[in-house]
Chain A
Amino acid sequence: MIARFLTPLVAALAFAVPSYADIVNIQPVTSDGGIEAWLVEDNSIPFVAMDLWFEGGGSIDRPDARGAVHLMTALLEEGAGDMDAQTFAAELEGLAASFSFDIYRDELVISVQMLTQNRGEVLALLRDVLLEPRFDEDAVERVRGQVLSVLEADANDPDTIAAAEFNALTFGDHPYGSRLEGTPESVAALTRDDLIAAHRSALVRDRVSVGVAGDMSAEELGPILDTLLGDLPTSDVALPEPSEVSDVGGITVVDFPTPQSSVYFGHAGIARDDPDFFPAFVMNQVLGGGGYRSRLMEEVREQRGLTYGISTWLGLSKSAPMMQGGFSSSNALVAEAIEVVQDEWAEIAENGITEAELAAAQQYMTGAYPLRFDGNSTIAGILAAMQADDMPIDYIASRNDNVRAVTVEDIQRVAAELVDSDALHFVVVGQPEGLPTEN
Chain B
Amino acid sequence: MIRPHLAGLGLAIGLTALPLAANAAGEVTEFTLDNGMQVVVIEDHRTAAVTHMVWYRAGSADEQPGQSGIAHFLEHLMFKATDDLESREFSRIVEENGGSDNAFTSWDYTAYHQRVAADRLGLMMEMEADRMRDLVLAEDEVVTERQVILEERAQRTDTSPGALFNEQLAAATYLNHPYGRPIIGWRHEMEELSLQDARDWYERHYHPNNAILVVAGDATPDEVRALAEEHYGAIPANPDIEAQETRERPSEPPHIAQRRVIYEDARVANPYVSINYLAPERNAGAQEEAAALTLLAEILAGSGFTSVLPREMQLEDERSLFVGAYYGGTSLDETTFTLINMPLPGTSLEQAEDHILAEVDEFLEEGIDPAQFERIMFQIEAARIYEEDDAAGLARAYGAALASGLTVADVQAWPDVLAATTIDDVMEIARELFAEEATTIGYLMQPSPDEAAEPEADAAAAAASQPTAEPEDAAEAGADGADASTPETAPMTEEVSQ
Chain A residues proximal to chain B, CB less than 8 Å: 1-4, 6-10, 12-13, 17, 19-20, 23, 42, 44-47, 70, 73-74, 77-78, 85-86, 88-90, 92-94, 96-104, 113, 115, 138, 142-143, 145-147, 149-150, 152-159, 181, 256-260, 262, 289-293, 297, 301-311, 313-316, 327-330, 333, 360, 363-378, 381, 385, 430
Contact residue among A257, A315, A372 (Cβ-Cβ distance under 8 Å from B458): A257
Q: Nearest chain B CB to A254's CB is how many angstroms away?
A: 11
Per the bound structure, the CA–CA distance linking A20 and B118 in Å amounts to 11
**Cβ-defined contact, B460 with A158, below 8 A:** yes
- Listed by A's residue number, 27 A-B pairs whose Cβ atoms lie within 8 Å are A3-B477, A4-B9, A10-B473, A70-B8, A74-B1, A74-B2, A78-B1, A93-B379, A99-B14, A102-B9, A142-B315, A143-B2, A145-B344, A146-B322, A150-B4, A158-B159, A257-B455, A257-B459, A262-B462, A290-B468, A305-B146, A307-B148, A308-B467, A328-B467, A367-B99, A371-B99, A375-B389
Contact residue among A93, A307, A314, A372 (Cβ-Cβ distance under 8 Å from B471): A314
Within 8 Å CB of A10, what residues of B? 472-476
**Cβ-defined contact, A364 with B95, below 8 A:** yes
Per the bound structure, the CA–CA distance linking A306 and B155 in Å amounts to 12
B85 is an interface residue with CB less than 8 A from chain A = no
Tell me the residues in window 115-166 of chain B with beta carbons closer than 8 Å to chain A beta carbons. 115-117, 143-152, 154-156, 158-159
Within 8 Å CB of B455, what residues of A? 257
Within 8 Å CB of A373, what residues of B? 47
**Cβ-defined contact, A368 with B99, below 8 A:** yes
Per the bound structure, the CA–CA distance linking A396 and B374 in Å amounts to 43
Q: Nearest chain B CB to A14's CB is how many angstroms away?
A: 11
Q: Nearest chain B CB to A264's CB is how many angstroms away?
A: 12
Contact residue among A155, A302, A364 (Cβ-Cβ distance under 8 Å from B144): A302
B303 is an interface residue with CB less than 8 A from chain A = yes
Per the bound structure, the CA–CA distance linking A93 and B372 in Å amounts to 9
Q: Nearest chain B CB to A136's CB is how many angstroms away?
A: 11
**Cβ-defined contact, B463 with A371, below 8 A:** no
The residue of chain B having its C-beta at the shortest distance from the C-beta of A375 within the complex is: B389
B366 is an interface residue with CB less than 8 A from chain A = no
Q: Nearest chain A CB to B219's CB is how many angstroms away?
A: 14
Within 8 Å CB of A155, what residues of B? 269
Stretch among B233-241, B380-388, B407-415 lining the A interface: B380-388
Which of B14, B46, B471, B473 gathers most chain A CB within 10 Å? B471
Given contacts A290-B468, A311-B468, 9 further A-B contacts (CB under 8 A): A19-B48, A45-B385, A103-B9, A146-B4, A156-B269, A258-B459, A297-B468, A311-B470, A367-B98
**Cβ-defined contact, B148 with A301, below 8 A:** yes
Per the bound structure, the CA–CA distance linking A438 and B144 in Å amounts to 31
**Cβ-defined contact, A12 with B472, below 8 A:** yes
Tell me the residues in window 359-383 of chain B with beta carbons closer than 8 Å to chain A beta carbons. 371-372, 374-376, 378-379, 381-383
Within 8 Å CB of A157, what residues of B? 460-463
Interface size on B, residues (CB 8 A): 102
Per the bound structure, the CA–CA distance linking A20 and B99 in Å amounts to 15
Tell me the residues in window 57-111 of chain B with beta carbons closer than 8 Å to chain A beta carbons. 79, 88, 91-92, 95-100
Q: Which 8 A-B pairs have the closest CB atoms?
A: A367-B98, A309-B467, A305-B147, A258-B460, A96-B382, A290-B470, A89-B305, A98-B14
Chain B residues proximal to chain A, CB less than 8 Å: 1-15, 46-49, 79, 88, 91-92, 95-100, 115-117, 143-152, 154-156, 158-159, 266-270, 303-306, 311, 314-315, 318, 321-322, 344-345, 371-372, 374-376, 378-379, 381-383, 385-386, 388-392, 455, 458-463, 465-477, 498
Q: Nearest chain B CB to A46's CB is how many angstroms away?
A: 6
**Cβ-defined contact, B390 with A375, below 8 A:** yes
**Cβ-defined contact, A113 with B468, below 8 A:** no
Per the bound structure, the CA–CA distance linking A400 and B386 in Å amounts to 30
Q: Nearest chain A CB to B239's CB is how many angstroms away?
A: 36
**Cβ-defined contact, A257 with B460, below 8 A:** yes
Per the bound structure, the CA–CA distance linking A102 and B477 in Å amounts to 14
**Cβ-defined contact, A149 with B460, below 8 A:** no
**Cβ-defined contact, B98 with A307, below 8 A:** no
**Cβ-defined contact, A86 with B459, below 8 A:** no
Contacts A86-B311, A293-B91; A93 near B306 (Cβ below 8 A): yes
**Cβ-defined contact, A1 with B379, below 8 A:** no
Contacts A4-B9, A153-B270, A330-B154; A374 near B47 (Cβ below 8 A): yes
Which of A3, A101, A159, A307 gathers most chain B CB within 10 Å? A3
Within 8 Å CB of A98, what residues of B? 12-15
**Cβ-defined contact, B321 with A46, below 8 A:** no
